[in-house]
């Protein structure tokens, strides 16, 4: 069942998602050559604590990080650790906060120093696909309209969509109905209604779409070693346009 949020619930979702977005951006700005992913996680921990929230990821099904930090060919769910970021890397910073009974969830992929043009194009296309999907999140559309819009932008650019992991509904729980694939046919799936809150998150590879999970049972990497990018916003379906709750 897809939960439609009340006006007061949407206010709570706005609050926690703004907190989450501010932490996301602060950690992203701190990601520089020479910084470890553990340092990013420690900064996130401090900022989340200072905000009055708690990490929505730490302890979730046993996850040991405060945030997810996924570098280069790591798609999602990378655990912060001793890895040192280097010039030319890209790193996805996926942040979740629990506050006031609701969850915020958002991700960006940032360049570490100067990156080559193809990596920059990957970041630009992934972000553009996210916003194409969000544009379809309006009352009366179908879930497949979001999925198809994302897929179209990505594949027209010559990149591939990860199919093993998807976006999701969000609210009081991290993962609510519906699942939101980043590929599909328009006009299919549940009808969207104002007040639904969704975490839309394309994961895009330069190479093929196949992925595998490392021995830590969390970190997802591209099967062919190609670079991957991940952007995510939590949004509220609106009557005429979506409200991006994680936009600051």
Show the CA angle centred on residue 202, arms to residues 72 and 216, nearest 5°.
50
Give domain status of residue 234, yes or no: yes
Q: Is the pTM of this model over 0.75?
A: yes
> Which tokens go with 63?
């996850």
Q: How far is CA 37 from the centre of its chain?
A: 17
Per-residue pLDDT band at 22 (split at 50, 70, 90)? very high
What pLDDT score does 212 carry? 98
Give domain status of residue 1, yes or no: no
Give domain status of residue 240, yes or no: yes
Condensed to tens digits (0 to 9), the pLDDT of residues 32-48 reads 999 999 999 999 999 99
Nearest-angstrom CA–CA distance, 61 and 195: 28
What pLDDT score does 172 carry? 98
Mean pLDDT of 204-222: 98
Per-residue pLDDT band at 154 (split at 50, 70, 90)? very high
What pLDDT score does 232 carry? 98
Total domain count for the chain? 1
3-class DSSP assignment, residue 19:
helix
Checking phi first, is residue 244 left (phi over 0); if not, alpha (psi -120 to 50) or beta?
A: beta
Asked if 101 contacts 48 with a C-beta cutoff of 8 angstroms, the reply is no
What pLDDT score does 107 carry? 98
**Domain extent at residue 220:** 7-244
CATH number at residue 177: 3.90.230.10
Give domain status of residue 67, yes or no: yes
């Amino acid at each position: 069942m897809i939960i439609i949020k009340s006006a007061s619930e949407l206010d709570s979702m706005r609050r926690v998602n703004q907190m989450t977005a501010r932490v996301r951006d602060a950690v992203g700005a701190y990601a520089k050559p020479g910084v470890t992913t553990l340092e990013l996680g420690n900064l996130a921990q401090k900022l989340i604590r200072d905000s009055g929230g708690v990490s929505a990821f730490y302890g979730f099904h046993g996850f040991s990080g405060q945030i997810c930090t996924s570098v280069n060919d790591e798609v999602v769910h990378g655990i912060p650790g001793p890895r040192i970021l280097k010039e030319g890397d890209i790193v996805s910073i996926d942040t979740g906060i629990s506050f006031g009974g609701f969850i915020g969830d958002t991700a960006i992929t940032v360049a570490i120093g100067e990156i080559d043009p193809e990596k920059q194009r990957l970041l630009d296309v992934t972000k553009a696909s996210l916003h194409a999907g969000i544009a379809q999140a309006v009352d009366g559309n179908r879930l497949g309209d979001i999925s198809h819009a994302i897929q179209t932008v990505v594949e027209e650019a010559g990149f591939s969509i990860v199919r093993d992991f998807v976006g999701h509904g969000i609210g009081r729980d991290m993962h609510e109905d519906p699942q939101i694939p980043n590929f599909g046919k328009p006009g299919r799936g549940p009808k969207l209604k104002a007040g639904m809150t969704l975490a839309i998150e394309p994961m895009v590879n330069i190479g093929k779409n196949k992925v595998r999970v490392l021995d830590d049972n969390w970190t997802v990497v591209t099967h062919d070693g190609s670079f991957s990018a991940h952007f995510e916003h939590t949004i509220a379906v609106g009557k005429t346009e979506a409200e991006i709750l994680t936009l600051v």
